[in-house]
C-alpha cells in the first residue's frame, strides 16, 4: 500500500514537472483576418495547471479567463469590450522552447500567430 502511494505521488510530480513554463512576458506580431497588422503582449503566470495573466493590445490590458496548461499545450479566453459589445477570443497554443504557436478564434474568424518570449 505504501509503495502504491509513493508511486502515485511520483507520477503527480512528474506530470507537474513536464508542464511548459510560460511564466513571463511574450510578444506576438500578426495579421488579422481583415488584413490589419497587430501586436500583443502576453503576461503569463502559471500555478500548477492554472494559467492567469493579461493580454495587452492597442486598447490596454485584458485579463485572461479559463486559463489552463497541460504539458506543452496552453489555452485561455479573453473577453474584450468594444463600444457596447463583448467579443470573446479563444486561444489554443503549443509551446516549443521560447515560442508559442497559437490558433485564435474570434467569433466566426480564426487566425494563427506566434508569440516569442521577451
Chain segment 58-96, per-residue pLDDT in tens: 889 999 999 999 999 999 999 988 888 998 999 999 999
Is the pLDDT assigned to residue 100 strictly greater than 90? yes
Is the pLDDT assigned to residue 6 strictly greater than 80? no
Instruction: Find out if CATH 2.40.128.20 is the number for domain 20-117.
Output: yes
Percent of the chain with pLDDT over 90: 60
Residues 92, 23, 78, 72, Cα dihedral to 10°? 10
What's the pTM value of the predicted model, to 2 decimals?
0.79
What per-residue confidence (pLDDT) applies to 103?
A: 96
**Closest to 104 measured CA to CA, from 83, 80, 82:** 80
pLDDT: is 108 or 94 the higher one?
94
Q: What is the mean pLDDT of the chain?
A: 86
How many CA atoms lie within 13 Å of 48's alpha carbon, on the beta-carbon side? 2
Mean pLDDT (whole number) for 102-110: 91
Location of C-alpha cell 501586436: 39
Distance in angstroms (rounded) separating the CA atoms of residues 54 and 42? 6
Rounded to 5 degrees, φ, ψ at 104 are: -120, 130
Amino acid at each position: 500500500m505504501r509503495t502504491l502511494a509513493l508511486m502515485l505521488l511520483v507520477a503527480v510530480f512528474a506530470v507537474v514537472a513536464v508542464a511548459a513554463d510560460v511564466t513571463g512576458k511574450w510578444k506576438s506580431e500578426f495579421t488579422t483576418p481583415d488584413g490589419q497588422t497587430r501586436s500583443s503582449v502576453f503576461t503569463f503566470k502559471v500555478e500548477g495547471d492554472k494559467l492567469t495573466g493579461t493580454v495587452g493590445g492597442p486598447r490596454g490590458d485584458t485579463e485572461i479567463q479559463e486559463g489552463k496548461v497541460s504539458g506543452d499545450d496552453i489555452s485561455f479566453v479573453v473577453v474584450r469590450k468594444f463600444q457596447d459589445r463583448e467579443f470573446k477570443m479563444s486561444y489554443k497554443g503549443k509551446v516549443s522552447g521560447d515560442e508559442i504557436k497559437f490558433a485564435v478564434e474570434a467569433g466566426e474568424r480564426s487566425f494563427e500567430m506566434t508569440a516569442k518570449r521577451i
